[in-house]
Amino acid sequence: MAQELNVTTEALKTTPPALVALLHAGGMTPSDWVTVLTLCYLTLQIGLLIPRYIDRYRRWRRRRHTDTEIEDT
């Protein structure tokens, strides 16, 4: 069991340098893959923020609607 964990840990440690070497061999310079990673990061952040903003907008609309009803009575 301990040996399996050790192999997995070592494999995970070598993954980033191996990925960089593979991408560079494939024609991508380090600045290219930094750009790709940045775009992926931005996409994830936007994807996480949109539902949050939609929820805030809906709560704001509900509050505004109930405040209007209270003022009308």
Q: What's residue 51's pLDDT?
A: 92
Total-model pTM: 0.48
Q: What's residue 42's pLDDT?
A: 94
How many structural domains are present in the chain?
Answer: 1
Orientation of helix 30-72 relative to helix 2-25, angle to 10°: 100
Find the angle CA(16)-CA(21)-CA(23) to the nearest 5 degrees.
Answer: 95
Instruction: Tell me how far apart the alpha carbons of residues 13 and 5 are, in angstroms, rounded to a whole number.
Output: 12
Instruction: Tell me how far apart the alpha carbons of residues 8 and 16 are, in angstroms, rounded to a whole number.
Output: 14
Q: What's residue 3's pLDDT?
A: 63
Q: What's residue 71's pLDDT?
A: 65
Instruction: Tell me how far apart the alpha carbons of residues 13 and 26 are, in angstroms, rounded to a whole number.
Output: 21
Helix (H, G, I), strand (E, B) or coil at 69: helix
Range of the domain at 29: 2-72
**pLDDT by residue for the chain (73 residues), tens digit each?**
556 667 777 777 777 777 777 777 778 787 888 898 899 999 999 999 999 999 999 999 999 888 776 666 5
